[in-house]
A = this chain, B = another copy of it.
Amino acid sequence: MGGQENGHVKDGILERLAKGPVIGDGSMCMTLEKRGYCRAGPWTPEAVLMYPDAVRQLLREYLRAGSDVLQTPCFYSSDGLLESRFKGKKTQFTSYDLNQAACKMAREVADEGDAIVCGSLSPVLSYFKNKDMEGARKEFENQLQPFIDNNVDFVLAEFFAHVEEIELCVEVIKRANKPIAATMRIGPMGDSNGVSVEECAVRMARTGAEIIGINCLYDIHTQLKVIKRMKAALDKEGLKPYLMIQALGWLCPEVENNLTGYLALPEAPLDLDSRCLTRTEVHKFARDAWEAGVHYIGGCCGIEPHAIRAMSQELAEERGRSPPTEDMTPAFSKYLRESMISYNRFKADNKDHWFNLRPGTGRLKNPATSDVYEDCSFDMSEDL
């Protein structure tokens, strides 16, 4: 089922999930923006064509950090959104070209190691603007076709705000005859139509997707609360899909009960650095997620390579392997023993030191939380 490397057939996603923790990849748009290759806000996937070396490099860093899966870097690459983005400009990029390039690039890097490729679909404008189910179906089909043509290893529907849209999306995906994952970007308040966390979980599982869960918008502490509620609801119905979290890379407790999550912060999207998870905080999250029954643990916005590495290192024993860069970057670096700083030598490979630390913020005049923008919502201004 999985990809091939040197004639060896790799395990597919379901085989991997059956064996233990699977580590996903991390942030693409937000990280490429910091590196200078992507626009902030109206994220578009054109970097895959414009700056392939930079995108390939980032994918490679995730591979080296221990990712089992590389997603095709084509978020929001759907007809409606691309059209809207390039309205009034000489459109340069089609969904088909972008997704083709994304598939080839993901496969190329995945085959430098043991990773497999996941084709990723995201919400579409037809549903968002008009709840037009037929238009949405068509957009999903167009997103999906390159994944079929390029024989990705499985398909993911991600970042959905409405359970009825993801139900439709999964229905379309079935045509590919691949394992299916489905994640919503919801918090404790449930979906944007008011469907509860519990009902979202049950309905996602009932689509037949083998893997369900959440991604983005809420911080890891909130995400853990939500996934536990999902699990309890699934258990009650006797449903047993694999659970998945794509973690957000920033702490933002104040938006837990806001429908747009971290996007309601004044710092988003350009000034979130002070909220970045440390890698030890990621270690703890990976452990907590695994203990909560989550088998697929990866990253979303803000999770950079060292954070993915922290996940794969924390669960190295359960996975039976460490990330390929272990010789350069072991967890809680044993190489600190060779430091000229006495205190560094004390910290070397000293998990207790790192786990007992509550990292300072360095900011004497800054608050723990910001004033959240109450009216923040996903919408479309007249002229978009």
Contact = CB atoms under 8 A, between A and B. Distances in A.
A302 to B, nearest CB: 10
A221 B347 CA distance: 27
A370 B200 CA distance: 33
B344 A263 contact: yes
Nearest to A76: B340
Interface residues of A, number: 92
Interface stretch (A145-153, A239-247, A277-285, A314-322): A277-285
Contact of A361 (B332, B343, B367, B377): B367
Q: How many copies does the complex hold?
A: 4
A229 to B, nearest CB: 14
A362 B36 contact: no
Question: Which applies to chain A's interface (DSSP): helix, strand, loop or mixed?
Answer: loop
A275 B64 contact: no
Contacts of A128: 340
A147 to B, nearest CB: 24
Interface in A96-136: 128
A384 B341 CA distance: 11
Contacts of A263: 341, 343-344
Interface of A: 33-42, 53-54, 57, 61, 64-65, 85, 128, 219, 250-254, 260, 263-280, 304-306, 309, 323, 325, 328-329, 332-333, 335-345, 347-348, 353-354, 357-371, 373, 375-381, 384
6 contacts: A37-B328, A263-B343, A266-B359, A269-B344, A271-B359, A273-B278
